[in-house]
Structure 1
Amino acid sequence: MGRGSGQGTSRIAVCSGDQLRRDALAAYLSGLPDFTVVGRVVDGTHLVPLVELERPHIVLIDGGQRPGDTVPTLQLLHGRHPSARLVLAYERLSAEDFAAAREAGVAAVVPYAHGLGGLVSVLRGLASGVDPDANGVGLTGRQREILLLVASGHQVSEIAEMLDISPGTVENHKRRVYAKLNATSAAHAVARAATLGIIGSTPAAQPAPPADGPRGDGGQTPLAVVVGFAGPVLDRVVTTLIGHRVAVVREHCPQATPQIHWHRSHRGPVVRVLVDPAADQWRVGATLGWAAVMVHDGRVDRRTMGEALTNGVLALVHGDHVEARLMPAMHLAAGGYMVMDPASSGLFTDSMWNWSADLPPVVPRLTAREHDILRSIGRNQTVRQTARALGIAMKTVENAQGHLFSKLGVHNRAAALAKAYTLGLLQPADGSVQLVR
């Protein structure tokens, strides 16, 4: 989660019952140099133990449409940890809710209407009065590293070799992690840390996601495979990733990627960062089911946009905005979300409507259920959200989605969306697509 206990950063915990907002806030704040996200949780039940463990400087709570419901949690946190700055974000706030929140010790209330810029401004104002070295009793940076490696299935000897420390030192750190998390085993510690949002859920504890589905929950820092020709933009990309403590692999020979060691041993999400890619640099990641972020120079034409989406690109970042936007885009793409520059959204819908020169003219006949699934993809809903909206089982959604992909001749959700536009199955003007910005 975040970048560990970085020097000069304010530690922040995020709580939201809305998964998209929770993921987006954590990913965005993790990409800023002055914040370290120590955990993200769904409600007050999990927030209290997270704050007990990590002692964050700031606690950001998303109150949504019912901010008054958060008051008991706010009162409890303020009573136990009065030094923590409590921030309440909300959609609507009554005078009674405001008075109750202030009495509960809230340091700031921020309406959704102020946007991310307003929220970050408030957080930075609060952070200016805290001691960034007051890290409480939470996990140290080394303990987080070891916990993440344990969660990824590495043995003590492998962890010792990777971190260049002795196996005995690894065991000592593991014991301290267990004590802090009140855990009795590696599995218990990983489950406890995942519940508190300190790390993402261990891949070994869940079935592998399909190639077209989410590639991580945004809580675990992805491994970045950087593709592109040498130049100042690629240098800035690599420098930015290293500065955020992201593991970076420079891909010089795309055909060899599946055979090299890190691909076989890495258990977490992999995101390719394509810097103005050439034709032969697109496809390897797509065949392996990896998400991709494309860093472009602003001259993305319709055909390039279609090629990007067909080959797994879920995020577009302008080369001028690498330092500010690459990390948030990577975290969201790893979670399966589509992200693009505001200037690119019009090009996206135009390209999907017009990119048809190389596609067969025959429009497949879809069932009513497949149309429902297609519209759900256009709304950027997950399989779980689709199942809930349609009142059917997730397995039914997955089966219908597989039939839809087969009829469209595609292998992932982005390609299905592109094909649907070109065949007229979705209209740019009907509001089906909701782009995460």
Structure 2
Amino acid sequence: MSHPGRHPGRRAMAELCRPTRVAVHCHHRMHGETLASWLSALAGYSVVGIVSTGPCLLQLCVLRAPDIALLRTKAADDEELALVRKLRADHPGLRVIGLQYPFDPQESLRLHHAGVHRLVSLRSDLSVLFAALEDLRQHGEFANRRPRLTDRELEVLALVCGGYSVERIAPVLNISPHTVANFKRRIFAKLEVQSRTQAAVEAERLGLLRVGTPSPERGGPPSLTSRDRDILASIARGESVRQTANALGIAMKTVQSEQRNLFFKLGVANRAEALFRARALGLVDDC
């Protein structure tokens, strides 16, 4: 017997109305960004991250719990098939769409047996991919799951990676410094990192934070020395100043001096900002 004021279907309706969450896997970052931009423009879809490797995709699915994964397939070899099986085993509610080129019947059969729900040829137009997405969206039994990194945690992560201190983040998000510190601890634990720079590396590696294109007024890529590039590579590995010094066989003060020159060239204030700026300019390779 129903009771006045109660709406048994409200939670189900909210789940139906929420955007379908999509993870994008593509070996070429530019192609992945293009595909993500197209998806983001579709009504009812939300891109949770863009990655370029299988391990990154597995970790992204743990952190952001997508409903659908777009997987760029290559040869349906043992490694690729194992990736699909692990995705399906670890995330039973996940639906996988394989993006295949060129089309090969034998490869398609192996991918389907491994657990891919739909295969779309990259020679098809986007309407074919959209039809596959809509089919899985309407008929897939998406569990009532929540992302491991919440929207608020992503906001804090973006500000942390941008070089904001706990005290500066608090008024921006209208929460207390104590709450920010708690968010930061949880984020670092989920990403399994110890520092802001390491968090920036993981956030970029997993496509959790989209790097904007360089603005025209900031100009093109600066001219970097080999030492600049060595320091950038160390930052991209999530290493501390001390670890950078040890790796390069130089003093910490030398690293700090060289780092200041690098920051000036990039127009940034800290290592996390340097990493994001370098990614946007194509100065650091993707994972």
Give me the TM-score of the superposition, normalised by structure 2: 0.65
Residue matched to 1:110? 120
Residue matched to 2:185? 175
Say if 1:151 and 1:202, in contact at 8 Å, map to a contact too. no
Correspondent of 1:125 among 121, 124, 135: 135
> Could you tell me how far 1:110 is from its partner in structure 2?
0.5
Correspondent of 1:212 among 220, 233, 241: 220
Across the aligned residues of Structure 1 and Structure 2, the Cα RMSD in angstroms comes to 3.4
Correspondent of 2:159 among 149, 153, 158: 149
Tell me the SS of whatever aligns to 2:117.
Answer: strand
Residue matched to 2:36? 26
Deviations 1:190-234 (A, max 9, x none): 22121111114699xxxxx961359xxxxxxxxxxxxxxxxxxxx
Greater relative contact order (CA < 8 Å, ≥ 6 in sequence):
2
Q: 1:190 to 1:383 in 2, by over 3 A?
A: closer
Q: 1:151 to 1:383 in 2, by over 3 A?
A: closer
Deviations 1:152-187 (A, max 9, x none): 111112211111111111111111111211222222
Correspondent of 1:197 among 207, 218, 225: 207
Residue matched to 1:61? 71
What pairs with 1:294-373 in structure 2 (closer than 5 Å)? none
- List structure 1 segments (4+ residues) > 6 angstroms apart after TM superposition: 382-385
Residue matched to 2:97? 87
Which 5+ residue runs of structure 1 have no aligned equivalent? 204-208, 215-263, 269-334, 337-381, 386-437
Say if 1:14 and 1:59, in contact at 8 Å, map to a contact too. yes
> Could you tell me how far 1:137 is from its partner in structure 2?
4.5
Q: Distance in 2 between matches of 1:182 and 1:122?
A: 35
Tell me the SS of whatever aligns to 1:46.
Answer: helix
Which 5+ residue runs of structure 2 have no aligned equivalent? 1-14, 223-267, 274-279
Residue matched to 1:35? 45
Deviations 1:273-326 (A, max 9, x none): xxxxxxxxxxxxxxxxxxxxxxxxxxxxxxxxxxxxxxxxxxxxxxxxxxxxxx
Q: Distance in 2 between matches of 1:90 and 1:60?
A: 11
Say if 2:93 and 2:141, in contact at 8 Å, map to a contact too. no
Deviations 1:254-280 (A, max 9, x none): xxxxxxxxxx99x98xxxxxxxxxxxx
> Is it true that 1:162 corresponds to 2:190 in the alignment?
no
Say if 1:54 and 1:135, in contact at 8 Å, map to a contact too. no
> Could you tell me how far 1:131 is from its partner in structure 2?
6.6
Deviations 1:132-160 (A, max 9, x none): 78344421111100100111111112211
Tell me the SS of whatever aligns to 1:153.
Answer: coil
Residue identity matched to 1:28 = W
> Could you tell me how far 1:106 is from its partner in structure 2?
0.6
Q: Distance in 2 between matches of 1:176 and 1:129?
A: 34
Q: 1:82 to 1:133 in 2, by over 3 A?
A: closer
Between the two proteins, what is the percent identity of the paired residues?
29
Q: Distance in 1 between matches of 2:220 and 2:105?
A: 46
Q: Distance in 1 between matches of 2:183 and 2:141?
A: 25
- Count of paired positions: 215
